[in-house]
Amino acid sequence: MTLVYVLNGPNLSRLGTREPDVYGAETYADLVTLCEETGRSLGLKVEVRQTDSEAELIGWLHEAADGRVPVVLNPAAFTHYSYAVRDAVAMRTAPLVEVHISNPAAREEFRHTSVVSAVASGTVTGFGLRSYVLGLHAVATG
């Protein structure tokens, strides 16, 4: 069974209570269940992780690169300014799909820039938690 990491950056553990008008009412636990169930239906073994630490996220990206593990990544706020996360993504050895729950292009100006997109395989934004489902479909087929 193909292993896939679903990696989440800062504040995503707060889903459900964090700005529900933007991110919805579903919790981080709901996200984990959704990703695991989607993985099962696609024949993938999905491992979902979340961290508020840039260093930890970079460590997980190194682990994915070393193991040739495909990744669905929501870098959260790191998306907009972390060249360190971008450089770690650039080392990828398997498909990596950048996902966002909201549509950053339709929000504040500082969210319009992703320093990660250019080194990802592709990006899915704006579909709520379904962005992860679409991202998992993309890594399963490509």
By CB under 6 A, name the binding residues for ligand DQA: 11, 74, 76-77, 79, 100-102, 104, 111
Q: Which is nearer to ligand DQA, 53 or 93 (CB)?
A: 53
At its nearest, how many Å lie between ligand DQA and the CB of residue 74? 5
Q: Least distance to ligand DQA from the beta carbon of 125, Å?
A: 7
What is d(CA 114, CA 103) in angstroms, rounded to the nearest whole number? 12
Nearer to ligand DQA, 70 or 75 (CB): 75
CB of 10 to ligand DQA, least distance (A): 7
Q: Is 108 exposed, middle or buried (0-12, 13-18, 19+ CB in 10 A)?
A: exposed
Active-site annotation holds for 137:
no
Please identify every residue annotated as catalytic. 23, 100
